[in-house]
A and B are shown apart, each in its own frame.
Chain A
Amino acid sequence: MTPRRRLRRAALTGAGLAVAALFVAPYVVMLLDALKPAAELRASPPRFLPRAWQPGNFLDVVRDPVFRSALRVSVTVALVSTLLAVAAAIPAAYHTARHRFRGRSAFLFLVLVTQMFSPTTLVVGLYREFFELGLVNTSAALILTNAAFNLAFAVWILRAFFASIPRELEEAAEVDGCSRLGALVRVVLPLARPAIVTAAIFAFIAAWNEYIVALTLMTDADTKPITVALTSYVTAYVQHWNLLFAASILAIVPVIVLFALIEPYLVSGLTAGSVK
C-alpha cells in the first residue's frame, strides 16, 4: 500500500467516525440522561456524565403500568398489522409482477399515490371513518390503518423482487407436477425470502413508530401505544425527562436491532424498488 493510499484510508476513517459520532451524539445524551436521578437533570451548569448512576430508572419504567400497557398495544399493533400487510402484499405483488391486465399500471400508480396521502393529511377522514364504525380507541383501528399504509410500500418492494425471479423456475416446477400455487409456495416464496423479510421489517418499524393516527384515535390512557404514551412523562405539569428517555431507549433498541439485521439488504432492496 502506497503512503498516499494509506493517508486516504485514514482520512476516510476519520471522516466516517466523525459522521457516526454526529449521528449518535444526541442519542448518547439521551442514554446518559436516562441514567441520571431527576435532580441532576436540573443541575446548572449541566454535566454530560451522571454524578450518581441510576439504572433504576429503567426498572421504574418497566414497572410502570402505563408503559406496560403501551408496550402491549405497540407490540400487538405492529405485529398484526405487519402480518396483514405482508399477507395481502404477496398475492398483489405476485399478480402484478406475473400478469399483464387492464389497469395494471393504473393500479401501480395508485399504490404510489397512496404514499402521498400520508396519515397526517388523512387523519381527519380516518377519525370520521372509525368514529362511524365505532372503532375509536380500539387496537383494531390502528392495526387496519397501519396495515393499509404499509401495504403500498410492501407491494412495491415485493413486485420488483418477484419480477426478477425467472419464470422458468416456476415452469420447471409445474412440469415436475407442482400446481401453480404449489410452485408459488415451494419455489417463489423461498427465493423471495430476503425481500419478504425486508418488507416485513419496514412495515413493522413504520407501525411501531407511527404517531399521529394513534395520537388522534387512541384517547383512552390504556389504549395508547408507546409513541403516544411516552409523551405523558413530560407535559406542562410533570417533567420526568429521565423516565421519558429511559422509556425512549427501550422503544428504540428493538428497532435498531431489526435495522441492523436488514442493513445488508437495505441497499439492494432500495435499488430494486427505485428501478421500474
Chain B
Amino acid sequence: MYPAVELLRASVSRYSITGLYQGAVGGLNYRRLVEQDALPTVVANTLMWVIAVVGVTVVISLVLAQLLDASFPGRRVVRWAVIVPWAASLIITAKLFVWVYDYYFGALNHVLTALRLAEPVDWLGNDATVMGSMIAVGVFVSLPFTTYVLLAGLATIPGDVYEAARLDGASAWQTYRSVTLPLLGPALLVATVLNLIYVFNSFPIVWTLNDRNPGFGHDTMVTYMYKVAFKSALRDVGLAAAVGVLNLVLVLLAVVVYLRTVRWQDAQA
C-alpha cells in the first residue's frame, strides 16, 4: 500500500524539477490542476476512450463467446488464435499497430486502396481519426480476456435450462434473450467491471499510438499524468500525483455508478 500513500502525500506537496521534496502545499496542486487548460480535453478523451472501448468490447465478446462455446471442428485452434493479442505484450501490439496504421507503408492503407475502398488515410496523424484508431486497438486487445470471462460464464449454465426452453418452443433469439443473458449476468458484471478498471488505467496503447502528436490533445488521464510527471516542460511530480488521485476517484466513481445501474435494473426485473 505504500505507493498509494506516497501518491496522496505527493499530491499535496511540491517537488523541484530534480525531484527534491520542498514541503507541503495543501490543496495547491489540485487548484493548479483545475486551472490546466488541457484538463477538460483530457477528461473528455478519457471518458470517450473508456466508454467506447468497454462498450464495443463487451458487445463483440458476447458474440464471440457464443461462437466459441458452440462445438465445431477446429474450435481449439480458434480459441488459441483469440488468445494471441492477450499473450502479446501491449507495447508490442501498440508498436505493431503504429506500423499497420502507417500512412505510406502500413498494411491497412495497402488493403484499403487495393480493394478500392478508400484513399490512404494518415490514421495516427489526423485529429479526426487518431482517437478512433486508438479505440480500435483498445478493443482488439481487450477482446480475449472479456471473451474468456464470458465463456467461463457460459460454461456454468446447465444444459437442462436450454432443454426446458426448447420444449417450451422458444426461438433461438428468445432463448438467448430470456435464458442465456440473465444467467450470464454475474460473468458479464465481472467482465465489465474489470475491463472498466483496465481500460481506465491502460497506458501503452495511447502512449505509443499518440506518440507523434504534440501537446495533450489526444491524451487520456494516465498518459497525461505521465507526461506531466516525467516528460513535459512541467516535470511536476506533485501535479501529476494530483492527476493520479483524480483518476483513481474517477475509476471508483465509474465502477460504483455501473454497479448501481446494474443493481437498479435487477430490482426492476
Contacts and interface: CB of A to CB of B under 8 A. Distances in A.
Contacts of B248: 116-117, 121
B89 interface: yes
Given A12-B70, A116-B197, A125 B6 contact: yes
Contacts of A120: 201-203, 222, 225-226
B125 interface: no
A230 B91 contact: yes
Q: Majority SS of interface residues in chain B? A: helix
Interface string A260-276: 10010011111100110
A251 interface: yes
A17 B84 contact: no
Nearest to A241: B99
Contacts of B202: 120
B74 A13 contact: yes
Interface in B180-202: 186-187, 190, 194, 197-198, 201-202
Contacts of B76: 263
B17 to A, nearest CB: 14
B96 A20 contact: no
A114 to B, nearest CB: 8
A269 B244 CA distance: 32
Contacts of A117: 3-4, 248
Interface in B185-234: 186-187, 190, 194, 197-198, 201-204, 208, 222, 225-226, 229-230
Contact of B78 (A19, A48, A269, A275): A19
A17 B100 CA distance: 22
Contacts of B100: 26, 29
B90 A211 contact: yes
A259 B75 CA distance: 16
B261 to A, nearest CB: 19
Contacts of B247: 121
Given A19-B78, A129-B3, A27 B148 contact: no
A30 B152 CA distance: 31
Most chain B CB within 10 A, of A120, A212, A263, is at A120
A125 to B, nearest CB: 3
Interface stretch (B41-49, B102-110, B158-166): B102-110
A46 B91 CA distance: 24
Given A118-B198, A121-B222, A126-B3, A248 B152 contact: no
A108 to B, nearest CB: 15
Given A33-B99, A124-B7, A124-B244, A19 B230 contact: no
B89 A211 contact: yes
A212 B229 CA distance: 13
A49 B81 CA distance: 21
A121 B7 contact: yes
9 contacts: A16-B78, A26-B93, A26-B97, A116-B251, A125-B10, A208-B89, A211-B204, A266-B152, A271-B155
Sorted from nearest, which 6 A-B pairs have the closest CB atoms?
A125-B3, A118-B201, A20-B81, A209-B89, A125-B6, A125-B7
